[in-house]
């Protein structure tokens, strides 16, 4: 089976991580008003490194981009960036529908995102390309550790962006001046981070929260969870029954943290707890899904 354009772009990125600052890669998805989509990728590699270090791999890269994506247009050129000459490749591939593109980007054999949704009004995805469980996306024999990922952040710039036919009302990415494009630096995100862009406020939902753990330390209850990516805050709910309807208590945390202490609970009572995040747009809060209910130990 052919790798398709997106997998080829990722493979190219991994081929040059040995030299710090030697590569830039940009991947953009443009959703057109008629529902068709264009996937565009730009790879920029320092010319000196490309010619002296990559050797035949450089030629293989050019050939692979053309052969593995027969429906794509490949343009090769040079560009000067901060006094350095870069060898550049621009790869563009059209898709007749968002559904067809989604098979490539989300889940499946070559997707960079573990899960998500793409429509003409919203984009929501959970980053998963650099999770060790999906490293076969890049190379069947490659295992990317957390330390390798941190090193790659300084070696390579990898950005992903999505462009809508209408203005974005909320995103946790960087918003363009015309408010139609959202961009993320994927290597700056941890695996599992949820990224999003919405053009309709009715669709907005905050990220889910995982890793909830609570421990009773006498007069206070210490609560910890996994910090979500770019949210405004969290809401915690407790109760003495699993449905959280008895002796219930709600705590709002107006910052993106990963722990808190809760006071004022009844002594010698077993409590149950759950958490959700929220993002604030203007004066309104948009909540994510509640986590699974856990027992306060």
Tell me the pLDDT band of 65, cut-offs 50, 70 and 90.
Answer: low
Tell me the pLDDT band of 181, cut-offs 50, 70 and 90.
Answer: very high
- The per-residue pLDDT for 55 is 56
Label each residue of the chain as H, E or C: CCCHHHHHHHHHHHHCCCCCCCEEEEEEEEECCCCCEEEEEEEEEEHHHHHHCCCHHHHHHHHHHHHCCCCCEEEEEEEEECCEEEEEEEEEEEECCHHHHHHHHECCCCCCEEEEEECCCEEEEEECCCCHHHHHHCCCCCCCCHHHHHHHHHHEEEEEEEECCCCCCEECCEECCCCCEEEEEHHHCCCCCEEEEECCHHHCCCCCCCCCEEEEECCEEEEECCCCCCCCEEEEEEECCCCCCCCCEEEEECCCCCEEEEECCCCCCCCEEEEEEEEEECCEEEECCCCCCEECC
* Higher local confidence (pLDDT), 103 or 54: 103
Average pLDDT over residues 286-290: 95
User: Which range is most confident: 23-27, 36-40, 104-108, 147-151?
Assistant: 36-40
- The per-residue pLDDT for 51 is 76
What is the distance between the alpha carbons of residues 6 and 105, in angstroms, rounded to a whole number? 8
What is the pTM (predicted TM-score) of this model?
0.80
User: Which range is most confident: 39-53, 128-142, 218-232?
Assistant: 218-232
Average pLDDT over residues 6-19: 52
**Range of lowest pLDDT (12-16, 241-245, 248-252, 291-295):** 12-16
Residues 203-232 pLDDT 10s: 999 999 999 999 988 778 999 999 999 999
What are the CA-CA distances from residue 273 to residues 225, 264, 277 (Å)? 12, 14, 14
Average pLDDT over residues 73-91: 87
* Higher local confidence (pLDDT), 153 or 62: 62
Asked if residue 207 lies in contact with residue 194, where contact means CB atoms within 8 angstroms, the answer is yes
Separation of CA 55 from chain center: 33
User: Which range is most confident: 53-62, 198-207, 218-227?
Assistant: 198-207
- The per-residue pLDDT for 48 is 79
The proportion of the chain whose per-residue pLDDT surpasses 70, expressed as a percent, equals 75
Domains of the chain in start order, with CATH, are: 4-201 (no CATH), 213-295 (2.60.40.10)
Does position 18 have pLDDT exceeding 80, yes or no? no
Does position 17 have pLDDT exceeding 60, yes or no? no
- The per-residue pLDDT for 106 is 81
Average pLDDT over residues 118-136: 69
Average pLDDT over residues 37-60: 75
Tell me the pLDDT band of 148, cut-offs 50, 70 and 90.
Answer: low
Does position 53 have pLDDT exceeding 50, yes or no? yes
* Higher local confidence (pLDDT), 15 or 142: 15
**Range of lowest pLDDT (61-65, 69-73, 215-219):** 61-65
Average pLDDT, the chain: 81
Does position 139 have pLDDT exceeding 90, yes or no? no
- The per-residue pLDDT for 176 is 98
């Amino acid at each position: 089976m052919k790798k398709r354009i997106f997998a080829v772009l990722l493979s190219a990125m991994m081929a040059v991580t040995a030299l710090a600052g030697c590569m830039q890669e940009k991947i953009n998805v443009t959703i057109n008003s008629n529902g068709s989509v264009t996937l565009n990728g730009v790879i920029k590699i320092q010319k000196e490194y490309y010619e002296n270090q990559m050797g035949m791999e450089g030629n293989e890269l050019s050939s692979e981009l053309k052969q593995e994506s027969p429906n794509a247009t490949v343009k090769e050129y040079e560009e000067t960036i901060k006094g350095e000459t870069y060898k550049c490749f621009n790869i563009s591939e059209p898709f007749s529908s968002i559904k067809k593109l989604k098979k490539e980007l989300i889940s499946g054999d070559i997707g960079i995102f573990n899960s998500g949704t793409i429509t003409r009004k919203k984009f929501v995805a959970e980053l998963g390309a650099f999770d060790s469980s999906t490293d076969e996306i890049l190379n069947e024999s490659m295992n990317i550790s957390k330390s390798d990922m941190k090193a790659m952040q300084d070696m390579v710039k990898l950005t992903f962006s999505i462009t809508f036919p209408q203005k974005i009302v909320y995103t946790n990415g960087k918003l363009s001046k015309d408010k139609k494009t959202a961009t993320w630096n994927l290597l700056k995100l941890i695996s599992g981070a949820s990224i999003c862009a919405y053009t309709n406020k009715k669709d907005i939902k905050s990220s889910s929260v995982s890793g909830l753990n609570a421990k009773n330390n006498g007069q206070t209850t210490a609560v910890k969870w996994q910090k979500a990516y770019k949210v405004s805050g969290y809401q915690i709910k407790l109760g003495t029954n699993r449905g959280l309807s008895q002796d219930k208590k709600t705590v709002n945390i107006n910052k993106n943290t990963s722990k808190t202490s809760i006071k004022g609970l009844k002594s010698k009572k077993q409590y149950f707890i759950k958490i959700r995040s929220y993002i604030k747009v203007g004066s309104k809060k948009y909540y994510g899904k509640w986590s699974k209910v856990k027992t306060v130990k």
